Amino acid sequence: MEDFKPAKPGMVFHAPERKLYIFKKTIIKVYIGWPGMRAWQKRSSKPNWRCVRPRIDVPKTKHVVTNMALLDERDNGPPPPFSTPTGLRAMCCFYKTIPDHICDLVADFPSVRHWHLCSFLARCGDAAFEVLSTCPPLGFMLASNWVFHPSSCPMRTARRLVLKRRREIAGWLGFPATESVVRILSRIPAANCQILPLLYLRDSLQSERRGAPSFLFRHVTTPLSGHMIRIVTDPRIGSRLGINFLNELGAMGSYQQWQSVKMAERALQILSFSIRPTQFAAVKIDSLARLEALSNFASKIENTMIGKTDDSSQFPSPPIPGNKEVQHIFTVGALRNEGREMDNCVGRDDYVGEALRGAICIYTVRAAGARATLALRKTDGNWNLDRLESRSNRPATPACWASVKWWWAVANGDPREVARWGRIRKRYSLPAAPDRGEA
């Protein structure tokens, strides 16, 4: 085992070997530039070198040239009126090893996968560049193909696949191997390529029962975004959407799309809880104006429902029983008190409405003298940890997290996680197993 010797924090680029060295207090990273595109790191806790796929943010070529010119001007002239980020020159030198046309292509994609894309292009050559240029989602998925199709040698597999027809690549990735699907994928621009929406799209197109998403995607005239894919592939919403609504949604910015998707989810959730099934089956969203009208109608229904409650009104039974550390909040009055005492928003009417219709479940957490508020949210029929925050929405203490994670692992029947968080609980002097049932 190698020893870890901490160094002065900073970045250094060694031009002859095209290596970028990044030194931090407890970690050392080494990146090899183009065409090697490999990276290693070691930590003080794990002092052996380990291969990694780091996160980098490849800029457009013109930005690299501009930054280098500014740095040269700073070095040769008077001090500038602004400070230069530490390691900027080293990072610029590293990015300059990447060819200009590669930088300009990769920079259009979300930065979280830039290293994967550069590695893919370096190892798979001109064929990879052509696939990534003509059908960005296919190239994007090939660069991270182990997510879509487990493979022991991802880059070797990618080199073999880039030479095949586009529909054959789509078929290997789990999509229907048709030209229609390739045309749908080609409608997704590079900036909108993300792993989760593409997985949702694949699952939707795989099923013959879900013919509506394929029909809608073929007739929408605007570029497809992650929010559009998510709302169309949602079985609760997709069948209710019109092409005009999707075209209007596609013409909006990303944040406005997110707001509209959330508005649709909330309105349909309230209506499914409040009106007859035959009436709910007839609800359609064929324009943004129609969505706004449905949202206003749903808000009136929810406000009426909340107005009929008092502090003693009870919420539905919790999906997971509490214990003496994680206690379910049963009544409207207790939830409003939690919001006042913790100085957070869980006592607001929108949270009360969600809790009354069973879309969210709120617990109060008390562990090792600390207190926090926990929210579980129901998504696609499954309950998930949503938020755990201390007073005034500050981060919860490690003791509270240990208590919640152990409780969650026990509820899910995961013995490895139970044992792991049980060991972590001991660090904060928490009991091995708190009493079951509400305190």
Q: pLDDT tens across 140-154, in order?
A: 999 999 999 888 888
Q: How far apart are CA 234 and CA 57, in angstroms?
A: 31
Rg (CA), the chain: 26
Interatomic CA distance for residues 412 and 202, integer angstroms: 27
Q: Rounded distance, CA 160 to CA 234, Å?
A: 34
Residue 67 has pLDDT above 60, yes or no: no
Checking if the pLDDT of 210 tops 50, the result is: no
What pLDDT is recorded for position 86?
52
pLDDT, tens digit, for every residue of 87-141? 777 888 888 888 888 888 998 898 888 999 999 999 988 999 999 999 999 999 9
pLDDT band at 347 (very low <50, low <70, confident <90, very high): confident
pLDDT at 163 over 70: yes
Q: Tell whether the model's pLDDT for residue 1 goes beyond 50.
A: no
**% of the chain residues with pLDDT over 70:** 89
The full DSSP string for 321-359 is --BSSEEE--BHHHHHHHHHHHTSSTTSHHHHHHHHTTS
Q: Is pLDDT above 60 for 69?
A: no
Tell me the range of 173-177, 275-279, 427-431 where mean pLDDT is highest: 173-177
Task: Tell me what the mean pLDDT of segment 210-214 comes to.
Answer: 57
9 compared with 394, residue with greater pLDDT: 394
Domain regions of the chain by residue span: 1-107, 235-308, 326-427
Tokens standing for residue 169: 């690549």
Residue 351 has pLDDT above 70, yes or no: yes
Confidence check: pLDDT of 13 > 90 = no
> Per residue in 294-332, pLDDT tens?
889 888 888 888 777 887 888 888 888 888 888 899 888
Contact criterion met (CB below 8 Å) for 434 and 323 = yes
Percentage of the chain surpassing pLDDT 90?
A: 14
Instruction: Write down the pLDDT at residue 76.
Output: 47
pLDDT at 168 over 90: yes
- Percent of the chain that is helix, strand, coil (3-state, to 5): 55, 15, 35
> Measured between alpha carbons, how far is 307 from 294 in angstroms, rounded to an integer?
20
pLDDT at residue 81, rounded to an integer: 41
